[in-house]
Amino acid sequence: MNQNFPTLSDFRAYMVNRLGDVEVVKQSLYDTQLYPTAGLTRLAFFQLPIGQGLSASPGNANATKALTDTNMQLGGQLPAPQGFWISSVEVDFQPGSSAAANTFAIQPPTFTNAVAAITVQAGENDVSNFYTSGALALNIGQKVYLQEAPLLWFPPKCRFELDVAIAQNSATTTEWGKAKMKAGGRPYIIDPGLPLMTSQNFDVTLTWPVVVATPSGFNGAIRVILDGWLFRAVQ
């Protein structure tokens, strides 16, 4: 009798993943959320993948999350066959220039008069208020693996470096300037690291005992970054 179905040997010979072989890639897991100007008391990250939730990307108001917001493929877990080694945690806060619901607009890099200066520079107070408040918890499964406060403990590796620039021609002409506040220091290192297995639920939660409003009156954007190494089956 002729066999009209593939054998186990056929299955192994033509697998799209090479059985038992794993590659390791330098990679981060990241997720971004809007921080409303009124403030809030809790935000959970890595729970909504691409195509769900609300985008905090400039120009993408009221749309679902895109790759510019997150690289999560599933909510709160890694797809098979993947694993991840967490080596550091970063929190990046960017002040904005819009108070519209579900909208983040980039803060302009310069101002040209005293009134605009007051408005834009209030964004630096947003940065200060954010990083000097709040607490972070990294949860894997049913266990809390990291708790720290304030959020200044988690500065990002990549950030704008302009501190201040001023030019003035006379008392009657335009003044230009920009002060950029940023969180400094090295990222929070996890030593020796924390592994995430396939389908293991995890999240990073930011909490505040009371709401912390932005002095500027504008929405901000928060990105949480888990830097490390992605483990995946070889194809």
Residue 35 and residue 57: Cα distance in Å, rounded? 12
Comparison of pLDDT for 134 and 122, the residue scoring more: 134
Residue type at 232 in one-letter notation: R
- The model carries a pTM of 0.83
pLDDT tens, position by position, 33-73: 999 999 999 999 999 999 999 999 998 999 999 999 999 99
* Cα separations in angstroms, 59 against 43, 98, 108: 22, 11, 14
Closest CA to 159 of 118, 133, 191, 131: 131
| Mean pLDDT in residue range 166-189 | 67
pLDDT tens, position by position, 132-168: 999 999 999 999 999 999 999 999 988 776 655 555 6
Comparing 16-25, 73-82, 127-136, which segment has the lowest mean pLDDT?
16-25
pLDDT of 9 strictly over 90: no
**Which pLDDT does position 81 carry in this prediction?**
86
| Mean pLDDT in residue range 89-113 | 84
Whether 31 contacts 223, CB under 8 Å: yes
Whether 62 contacts 98, CB under 8 Å: no
- Nearest 10 degrees: CA dihedral of 69, 71, 74, 79? 180
